[in-house]
């Protein structure tokens, strides 16, 4: 094989993977989103109209998309998801940045241990950890009973099944995704730059704002996207820790798909969600491309 052929062959593997697991299912979802729900297997109308096995036309409808803009429920669910995801992302950033900074500034032989500690929660089941939060937060849970024993409160605080609990769950679950890209960026930061800033008369806080922060911005963006994007579509955390007033698009998706068996509508919800999420990714790409031009 010539090196050109070999290179193409090597590139073919990721392309094949992306095609199989990303584009093909996506096209299927897109196709279903134009169908109408019906009681059959599969539970939606055919995309192609056939007569005696010969394709004579396509039967597509935009009704599913139209519904999403006419029914306030969906708009509210999208906005609710984006709001909760955004709040969680900001909290994760405020918590994750100092953590990543501290790890990056720790002695090199300590950094490995600290990173393992950040990722340690991943070693137990996600569901088990969310159930653990339930036992902590519920009215008869550890926190409430401790506060009551101490006489600080008379009646249990409502903590579980609130939007706050959902944010807490998301921050808790996705914090490592914030810490890791930030750490990777901060660890590469040349300490001499901060020394130079100090030498040139910048007090520590100013040096941070004018040197550390701008240079870690790509890490901030990567971390925020890694938290924000899965948080928008999050289903398990709002289901287990949210209340009836926590409207998130992941729950709607589940209901449409499994309870109402309306696959076309669920597909349309997914397509819109995808479009909502692609925008920040494009932004991230543009910023990354600019950052890679300046080392």
- Of the candidates 12, 193, 209, 283, which one interacts with another protein according to CB under 8 A? 193
Dig out the tokens for 96 from the structure. 């994750």
Contact flag: residue 155 with another protein (CB under 8 A): no
3-state secondary structure of 55: strand
Nearer to another protein (CB atom), residue 14 or residue 191: 191
* Contact by Cβ (8 Å): 196, 263: no
Least distance from another protein to the Cβ atom of residue 55, Å: 57
Instruction: Determine the 3-state secondary structure of 111 from DSSP.
Output: helix
Alpha helices by DSSP H, 71-107? 72-105
244 binds another protein (CB under 8 A): no
Return the number of the residue (121 or 204) whose C-beta is nearest another protein: 204
From 110-118, 130-138, 188-196, 262-270, give the range in contact with another protein by CB under 8 A: 188-196
Least distance in angstroms from the C-beta of 182 to another protein: 17
Question: In 10 A of CB 88, how many CB atoms?
Answer: 27
Q: What distances in angstroms separate CA 192 from CA 184, 189, 243, one per listed residue?
A: 17, 9, 50
* Using rule CB under 8 A, residue 200 touches another protein: yes
Tell me the closest approach of the beta carbon of residue 227 to another protein, in angstroms: 24
Residues 6+ apart with CB under 8 A from 157: 139, 143, 144, 147
User: Is residue 71 near another protein by the rule CB under 8 A?
Assistant: no
User: Are 144 and 152 within 8 A, CB to CB?
Assistant: no
* Residue of 206, 260, 278, 281 interacting with another protein (CB under 8 A): 206
Chain residues binding another protein by CB under 8 A are: 190, 192-193, 195-203, 206, 210-211, 214-215, 294-295
């Amino acid at each position: 094989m010539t090196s050109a052929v070999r290179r193409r062959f090597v590139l073919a593997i990721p392309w094949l993977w992306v095609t199989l697991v990303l584009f093909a299912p996506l096209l299927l979802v897109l196709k279903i989103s134009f169908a109408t729900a019906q009681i059959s297997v599969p539970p939606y109308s055919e995309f192609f109209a056939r007569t005696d096995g010969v394709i004579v036309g396509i039967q597509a409808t935009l009704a599913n998309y139209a519904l999403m803009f006419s029914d306030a429920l969906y708009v509210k669910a999208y906005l609710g998801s984006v709001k909760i995801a955004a709040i969680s992302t900001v909290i994760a950033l405020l918590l994750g940045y100092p953590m990543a900074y501290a790890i990056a500034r720790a002695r090199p032989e300590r950094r490995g241990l600290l990173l393992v500690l950040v990722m340690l929660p991943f070693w137990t089941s996600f569901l088990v950890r969310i159930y653990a939060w339930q036992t902590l937060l519920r009215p008869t849970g550890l926190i409430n009973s401790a506060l009551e024993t101490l006489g600080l409160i008379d009646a249990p605080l409502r903590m579980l099944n609130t939007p706050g609990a959902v944010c807490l769950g998301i921050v808790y679950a996705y914090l490592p995704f914030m810490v890791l890209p930030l750490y990777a960026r901060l660890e590469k930061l040349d300490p001499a730059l901060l020394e130079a800033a100090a030498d040139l008369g910048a007090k520590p806080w100013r040096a941070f704002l004018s040197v550390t922060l701008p240079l870690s911005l790509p890490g901030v963006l990567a971390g925020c996207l890694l938290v924000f994007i899965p948080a928008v579509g999050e289903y398990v955390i709002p289901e287990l820790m949210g209340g009836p007033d926590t409207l998130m698009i992941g729950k709607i998706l589940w209901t449409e798909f499994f309870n109402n068996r309306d696959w076309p509508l669920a597909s349309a919800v997914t397509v819109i969600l995808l479009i909502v999420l692609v925008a920040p990714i494009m932004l991230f790409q543009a910023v990354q491309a600019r950052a890679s031009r300046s080392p």
